[in-house]
Every structure is written in structure tokens, then in C-alpha cells.
């Protein structure tokens, strides 16, 4: 197999607002050898992000958030999605600090223990987002309400359900965003271990 190489021939910023869109002219090596001719690709620039599954192993409850998502407006469904706490890593921040901050801002939760589940690209076909997914142990006794930062236009409903209810919601298609799906699958595998700690 040929050595894997790529070359950026040109890059331009197409849009720079809440997010940034860049257009790349590039080429890369082929598995069969040689190089592909110049290709053009748009790249949605989304920096590093964090998501955290808030779970109370004593009460066996999952903390969910629900909010409006513009990415869902083109589907034949309501664009309010059930998700887990998430946010962007700002300059100078560490991912674990963001998990703690976002749990407080979006769900008014204090994380008692934080564990990294995995790091991964969310949609590498056209976006640069690199996500750190965490498990955060919480006491969900008094969790609920509407939270978020007004200056960021956040209107976030926070609620808890038992793990069994959360799993049923997943099976029924009520949770249809990739990150909470992955988080719940991880919890399904690790739940008994977490409940024994």
C-alpha cells in the first residue's frame, strides 16, 4: 500500500460567523498508488467539543436535556432534541473543565466524579469537530427545570428518567442524536459496574 500523504494547495474562508466555513483545494495519495487530481472540499470548522453523560448510579437515573436544534429543521419532525450536556472547548480550557462547566450551566448539576469514555470525530466527512465524551456521576435528587445562558440564546429543559426509561426512549426512536445514543450504549455496557462503586 502506498504511503498516505496529502497536500493543501489552497484554502479560503467562505464564511466566518458563529461557526466558520473554509474551502480547501487539496490532493492526496491513492491506495492503489499515485495521487488523486485536485479536489475541492468545504470544511465546517467546529473546534474541540465535550459531551458528558450525567448519571446517578444510586438512583439509577440519567440526566437529559432538551433543546431546539437548527440541524434538525429539515426533517419531518419537531427540532427539539433530547440530548446530553455538551459544549465547545474555549481557548485555554481543558476538556474536563468544560464538562464540569457545561454540567453546571446547562443542567445545574455538580459532577462528583468524571471519567473519559472516548474521543472521536463526530462527522469527519465535512466537519472538524473532535469530541471528548465523558461520564459524570451526579446526585440527581433535585435535578430539573429550565437552564442555560441567556447571552448564548440557550433555552434548555432538564429532566431525569430511570435508566430503563432512557433505554426504552432509545429503542422507540425518541433519542435520535448520535452522541447521546453512543453514551447510552456505553452506559448499557457499564451500568452494573458503576452501580457497584
Active site residue ranges: 152
> Which of 189, 182, 180 has its CA nearest to residue 161?
180
Identify the residue whose cell numbers are 497536500. Answer: 7
> Which of 50, 48, 55 has its CA nearest to residue 135?
55
**CB 27, CB 36: distance < 8 Å:** yes
Q: 3-state DSSP call for residue 61?
A: strand
**CB 175, CB 184: distance < 8 Å:** yes
Query: What ranges make up the beta strands (E) of the chain?
Result: 6-16, 20-28, 39-45, 49-56, 61-68, 80-83, 85-88, 113-121, 130-137, 145-147, 156-162
Burial readout 60-74 (b: 16 or more C-beta within 10 A, e: otherwise): bbbbbbebeeeeeee
- Cα dihedral across residues 100, 106, 50, 56: positive or negative: positive
How many Å apart are CA 37 and CA 43, to the nearest integer? Answer: 19
Amino acid at each position: 500500500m502506498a504511503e498516505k500523504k496529502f497536500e493543501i494547495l489552497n484554502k479560503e474562508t467562505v464564511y466566518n460567523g458563529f461557526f466558520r466555513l473554509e474551502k480547501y483545494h487539496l490532493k492526496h495519495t491513492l491506495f492503489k498508488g499515485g495521487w488523486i487530481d485536485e479536489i475541492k472540499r468545504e470544511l465546517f470548522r467546529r473546534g474541540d467539543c465535550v459531551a458528558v453523560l450525567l448519571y446517578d448510579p444510586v438512583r439509577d437515573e440519567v440526566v437529559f436535556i432538551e433543546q431546539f436544534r437548527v440541524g434538525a429543521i429539515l426533517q419531518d419532525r419537531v427540532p427539539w432534541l433530547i440530548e446530553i450536556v455538551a459544549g465547545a472547548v474555549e481557548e485555554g480550557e481543558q476538556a474536563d473543565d468544560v464538562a464540569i462547566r457545561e454540567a453546571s450551566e446547562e443542567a445545574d448539576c455538580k459532577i462528583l466524579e468524571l471519567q473519559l469514555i472516548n474521543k472521536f470525530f463526530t462527522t469527519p466527512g465535512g466537519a472538524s469537530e473532535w469530541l471528548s465524551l465523558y461520564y459524570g456521576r451526579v446526585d440527581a435528587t433535585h435535578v430539573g427545570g429550565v437552564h442555560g445562558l441567556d447571552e448564548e440564546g440557550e433555552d434548555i429543559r432538564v429532566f431525569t428518567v430511570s435508566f430503563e426509561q432512557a433505554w426504552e426512549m432509545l429503542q422507540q426512536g425518541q433519542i435520535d442524536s448520535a452522541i447521546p445514543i453512543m453514551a447510552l450504549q456505553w452506559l448499557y455496557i457499564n451500568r452494573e459496574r458503576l452501580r457497584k462503586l
